[in-house]
Amino acid sequence: MLILASASPRRHELLVAAGIPHTVRASSITEDRRPGESPGTFVRRLAEAKARAVDREPGDIVLGADTVVAIGKHVFGKPADEEDACRMLRVLAGREHSVYTGVCILYKDRCILDVAATRVRFAELSEEEIQEYAGSGEPRDKAGAYAIQGLASKFVIAVAGCYQNVVGLPISLVYRYLKTL
Protein backbone atom coordinates (compact mmCIF):
# COMPACT_ATOMS: atom_id res chain seq x y z
CA MET A 1 0.00 0.00 0.00
CA LEU A 2 1.23 3.52 -0.82
CA ILE A 3 0.94 5.94 2.07
CA LEU A 4 1.07 9.67 1.34
CA ALA A 5 2.70 11.27 4.39
CA SER A 6 1.16 14.67 3.72
CA ALA A 7 -1.97 16.61 4.59
CA SER A 8 -1.81 18.45 1.25
CA PRO A 9 -5.08 18.06 -0.64
CA ARG A 10 -3.23 18.96 -3.84
CA ARG A 11 -0.77 16.07 -3.52
CA HIS A 12 -3.68 13.72 -2.87
CA GLU A 13 -5.55 15.09 -5.91
CA LEU A 14 -2.49 14.72 -8.16
CA LEU A 15 -2.07 11.07 -7.15
CA VAL A 16 -5.79 10.42 -7.72
CA ALA A 17 -5.68 12.13 -11.14
CA ALA A 18 -2.70 9.95 -12.12
CA GLY A 19 -4.53 6.79 -11.04
CA ILE A 20 -2.05 5.98 -8.27
CA PRO A 21 -3.92 4.30 -5.39
CA HIS A 22 -2.88 5.48 -1.96
CA THR A 23 -4.01 6.36 1.51
CA VAL A 24 -3.29 9.64 3.30
CA ARG A 25 -1.55 9.52 6.65
CA ALA A 26 -0.38 13.04 7.43
CA SER A 27 2.73 13.54 9.50
CA SER A 28 3.55 16.48 11.72
CA ILE A 29 7.11 17.74 11.82
CA THR A 30 8.90 21.01 12.47
CA GLU A 31 9.61 22.75 9.16
CA ASP A 32 12.46 25.09 10.08
CA ARG A 33 15.20 25.79 7.55
CA ARG A 34 18.75 25.48 8.84
CA PRO A 35 21.15 28.40 8.35
CA GLY A 36 22.76 28.24 4.92
CA GLU A 37 20.66 25.24 3.85
CA SER A 38 19.95 25.28 0.10
CA PRO A 39 16.31 25.02 -1.02
CA GLY A 40 16.91 21.56 -2.53
CA THR A 41 18.62 20.18 0.57
CA PHE A 42 15.90 21.69 2.76
CA VAL A 43 12.97 20.09 0.90
CA ARG A 44 14.71 16.70 0.65
CA ARG A 45 15.35 16.74 4.40
CA LEU A 46 11.74 17.64 5.18
CA ALA A 47 10.36 15.06 2.74
CA GLU A 48 12.38 12.34 4.47
CA ALA A 49 11.37 13.54 7.94
CA LYS A 50 7.68 13.48 6.92
CA ALA A 51 8.00 9.98 5.44
CA ARG A 52 9.76 8.60 8.52
CA ALA A 53 7.23 10.20 10.90
CA VAL A 54 4.26 8.04 9.82
CA ASP A 55 3.43 4.54 11.01
CA ARG A 56 3.79 1.83 8.39
CA GLU A 57 3.57 -1.91 7.99
CA PRO A 58 6.50 -3.92 6.54
CA GLY A 59 5.09 -4.00 2.97
CA ASP A 60 4.00 -0.37 2.84
CA ILE A 61 5.54 2.26 0.61
CA VAL A 62 5.65 5.74 2.16
CA LEU A 63 5.81 8.93 0.11
CA GLY A 64 6.89 12.15 1.79
CA ALA A 65 7.14 15.50 0.00
CA ASP A 66 7.76 19.16 0.73
CA THR A 67 7.71 22.23 -1.53
CA VAL A 68 9.28 25.70 -1.34
CA VAL A 69 9.61 28.66 -3.67
CA ALA A 70 13.03 30.31 -4.03
CA ILE A 71 14.09 33.57 -5.62
CA GLY A 72 17.46 35.13 -4.95
CA LYS A 73 18.17 34.86 -1.22
CA HIS A 74 14.48 34.36 -0.41
CA VAL A 75 13.06 30.89 0.32
CA PHE A 76 9.31 30.90 0.80
CA GLY A 77 7.20 28.22 2.41
CA LYS A 78 3.59 28.86 3.36
CA PRO A 79 2.74 32.44 4.36
CA ALA A 80 2.06 33.12 8.04
CA ASP A 81 -0.84 35.43 7.23
CA GLU A 82 -2.28 37.72 4.55
CA GLU A 83 0.40 40.37 5.10
CA ASP A 84 3.13 37.74 4.65
CA ALA A 85 1.42 36.53 1.46
CA CYS A 86 1.49 40.10 0.11
CA ARG A 87 5.19 40.36 0.95
CA MET A 88 5.96 37.14 -0.95
CA LEU A 89 3.88 38.16 -3.97
CA ARG A 90 5.64 41.54 -4.16
CA VAL A 91 8.98 39.74 -4.38
CA LEU A 92 7.72 37.31 -7.06
CA ALA A 93 5.95 39.94 -9.20
CA GLY A 94 7.58 40.44 -12.61
CA ARG A 95 10.36 37.93 -11.90
CA GLU A 96 11.34 34.33 -12.44
CA HIS A 97 11.57 32.01 -9.44
CA SER A 98 12.17 28.33 -8.81
CA VAL A 99 9.83 25.84 -7.17
CA TYR A 100 11.55 22.92 -5.43
CA THR A 101 9.79 19.77 -4.24
CA GLY A 102 11.69 17.20 -2.27
CA VAL A 103 10.49 13.62 -2.55
CA CYS A 104 11.23 10.70 -0.24
CA ILE A 105 10.02 7.16 -0.89
CA LEU A 106 10.55 4.55 1.82
CA TYR A 107 10.09 0.85 1.10
CA LYS A 108 11.52 -1.92 3.25
CA ASP A 109 15.17 -0.95 3.73
CA ARG A 110 15.24 1.45 0.76
CA CYS A 111 15.15 5.24 0.94
CA ILE A 112 14.85 7.11 -2.34
CA LEU A 113 15.49 10.86 -2.08
CA ASP A 114 15.22 13.32 -4.94
CA VAL A 115 14.21 16.88 -5.72
CA ALA A 116 12.39 18.40 -8.69
CA ALA A 117 12.93 22.02 -9.71
CA THR A 118 10.65 24.06 -11.97
CA ARG A 119 11.13 27.65 -13.10
CA VAL A 120 8.10 29.95 -13.12
CA ARG A 121 7.88 33.53 -14.41
CA PHE A 122 5.28 35.89 -12.98
CA ALA A 123 3.82 38.94 -14.70
CA GLU A 124 4.15 42.34 -13.12
CA LEU A 125 1.47 42.71 -10.43
CA SER A 126 -0.12 45.90 -9.21
CA GLU A 127 -0.55 46.46 -5.49
CA GLU A 128 -4.29 46.13 -6.05
CA GLU A 129 -3.84 42.70 -7.68
CA ILE A 130 -1.59 41.56 -4.83
CA GLN A 131 -4.03 42.73 -2.16
CA GLU A 132 -7.03 41.22 -3.95
CA TYR A 133 -5.32 37.84 -4.45
CA ALA A 134 -3.97 37.69 -0.90
CA GLY A 135 -7.44 38.60 0.37
CA SER A 136 -9.00 35.69 -1.55
CA GLY A 137 -7.59 33.25 1.01
CA GLU A 138 -6.11 31.03 -1.70
CA PRO A 139 -2.46 31.75 -0.76
CA ARG A 140 -3.03 30.62 2.83
CA ASP A 141 -1.49 27.14 2.68
CA LYS A 142 0.60 27.41 -0.49
CA ALA A 143 4.38 27.60 -0.78
CA GLY A 144 5.24 31.03 -2.18
CA ALA A 145 1.70 32.23 -1.44
CA TYR A 146 0.16 31.17 -4.73
CA ALA A 147 -1.69 28.31 -6.40
CA ILE A 148 -0.68 27.97 -10.06
CA GLN A 149 -3.80 25.87 -10.68
CA GLY A 150 -6.11 28.46 -9.16
CA LEU A 151 -6.70 32.19 -9.21
CA ALA A 152 -2.96 32.88 -9.58
CA SER A 153 -2.88 31.11 -12.95
CA LYS A 154 -3.51 34.49 -14.59
CA PHE A 155 -0.19 35.78 -13.17
CA VAL A 156 1.98 33.04 -14.71
CA ILE A 157 3.76 33.97 -17.95
CA ALA A 158 5.91 30.84 -18.35
CA VAL A 159 6.69 27.49 -16.75
CA ALA A 160 9.90 25.56 -17.51
CA GLY A 161 9.80 22.06 -16.08
CA CYS A 162 7.16 19.95 -14.39
CA TYR A 163 3.86 21.81 -13.90
CA GLN A 164 2.65 19.29 -11.27
CA ASN A 165 5.77 20.07 -9.26
CA VAL A 166 4.51 23.64 -8.88
CA VAL A 167 1.13 22.30 -7.73
CA GLY A 168 2.98 20.26 -5.09
CA LEU A 169 4.16 16.87 -6.37
CA PRO A 170 6.24 15.94 -9.45
CA ILE A 171 4.02 13.01 -10.44
CA SER A 172 6.20 11.75 -13.32
CA LEU A 173 9.25 11.58 -11.02
CA VAL A 174 7.30 9.81 -8.28
CA TYR A 175 5.79 7.35 -10.78
CA ARG A 176 9.22 6.45 -12.21
CA TYR A 177 10.46 5.60 -8.72
CA LEU A 178 7.32 3.66 -7.79
CA LYS A 179 7.74 1.53 -10.92
CA THR A 180 11.23 0.50 -9.75
CA LEU A 181 9.75 -0.85 -6.51
Rg, the chain, Cα only: 16
Q: Return the SS3 of 165.
A: helix
Strand partners, 113: 104
Q: How far apart are CA 70 and CA 57, in angstroms?
A: 36
Our count of domains for the chain comes to 1
Catalytic residue among 32, 55, 60, 66: 66
What's the confidence (pLDDT) of residue 72?
87
Run of H or E residues at 76? strand 74-76
pLDDT tens, 81-136? 999 999 999 999 999 999 999 999 999 999 999 999 999 999 999 999 999 999 99
Q: Return the SS3 of 153.
A: helix
What's the confidence (pLDDT) of residue 146?
97
Confidence of residue 59 (pLDDT cuts 50, 70, 90): very high
Kindly report the CATH number assigned to the domain that includes residue 94: 3.90.950.10
pTM of the complete model beyond 0.85: yes
Confidence of residue 69 (pLDDT cuts 50, 70, 90): very high
Q: How many of the other CB atoms lie within 10 Å of CB of 70? A: 20
Tell me what percent of the residues of the chain surpass a pLDDT of 90. Answer: 91
Catalytic residue list contains 141:
no
Q: How far apart are CA 14 and CA 170, in angstroms?
A: 9
Distances (CA, A) of 181 to 12, 55, 108, 141, 167: 20, 19, 10, 32, 25
pLDDT tens, 138-164? 999 999 999 999 999 999 999 999 999
pLDDT tens, 5-34? 998 999 999 999 999 999 999 888 888 899
Q: Show the domain range for 69.
A: 2-180
